[in-house]
Amino acid sequence: MLNKRRLLGLDPGLRITGWGLIESENNRLHHVANGTVSTDSTLRLSERLLQLHDGLAAVLTKYVPDEAAVEETFVNRNPKSTLKLGLARGVVLLAPALHGLKVAEYSANRVKKSVVGAGHADKSQVDMMVRRLLPGCEPENADATDALAVAICHAHFSATGSRWEDALNAASR
Residue 74: its pLDDT value, please? 72
User: Three-state SS for 142?
Assistant: helix
Residue 77: its pLDDT value, please? 81
Looking at the DSSP bridge assignments, the partners of residue 104 are 69
From 67, 127, 143, 146, active-site residue: 143
Give the whole-number percent of the chain exceeding pLDDT 90. 78
* Residue 160 confidence (pLDDT) above 90: no
Q: pTM of the entire structure?
A: 0.90
Residue 120: its pLDDT value, please? 85
Arithmetic mean of pLDDT, 77-85: 89
Structural domains in the chain (count): 1
70 to 111, 156, 172: CA distances (angstroms):
10, 14, 32
Q: CA–CA separation, 100 vs 145, rounded Å?
A: 25
Known catalytic residue: 71? yes
Sorted by sequence, the CB contacts under 8 Å of residue 144 that are 6+ apart come out as 11, 18, 19, 20, 34, 35, 36
Q: Domain range spanning residue 132?
A: 4-171
Q: What is the residue-averaged pLDDT of the chain?
A: 91
Residue 64: its pLDDT value, please? 98
From 11, 67, 127, 146, active-site residue: 11
What is the full DSSP assignment across 9-35? EEE--SSEEEEEEEEEETTEEEEEEEE
* Residue 144 confidence (pLDDT) above 80: yes
Asked if 99 and 63 count as a contact pair (C-beta separation under 8 A), the reply is no
Arithmetic mean of pLDDT, 5-31: 96
Looking at the DSSP bridge assignments, the partners of residue 18 are 11, 36
From 67, 71, 127, 146, active-site residue: 71
Residue 29, domain CATH: 3.30.420.10
Residue 73: its pLDDT value, please? 79
